[in-house]
Amino acid sequence: MTELAKKVPWLRIGAEAVAIVGSILLAFSIDAWNERRVERALEAEYLERVGDELRDAKEVLESILGAADGNLLTEPILTEFFDGRMGAGDRQRLVVAIWQFGGNPILRFDLSTFDDLVSTGRLGLIADPEVRQTVQRAYAGLQRLTPLLDPYRDEFMAALYGWLPISVREQIRAACPEYSTPSACSDLHLDDEAVRLIVERIDTREAQLVFQIRDLRLRTLRGIGRGSLAVLDEALTQLER
The residues, ordered by sequence, that sit 6+ positions from 113 with a Cβ below 8 Å of its Cβ are 46, 49, 50, 52, 53
Closest residue by Cα to residue 179 from 75, 42, 82: 75
Contact status, residue 112 vs residue 69, Cβ threshold 8 Å: no
| Per-domain residue ranges of the chain | 3-239
Collect the ranges in the chain with pLDDT lower than 50.
4, 7
Instruction: Give the Cα separation of 24 and 40 in Å (integer).
Output: 24
Instruction: Give the Cα separation of 219 and 95 in Å (integer).
Output: 22
Distances (CA, A) of 95 to 191, 205, 209, 213: 11, 17, 17, 19
Closest residue by Cα to residue 61 from 121, 107, 9: 107
Model pLDDT, residue 142: 93
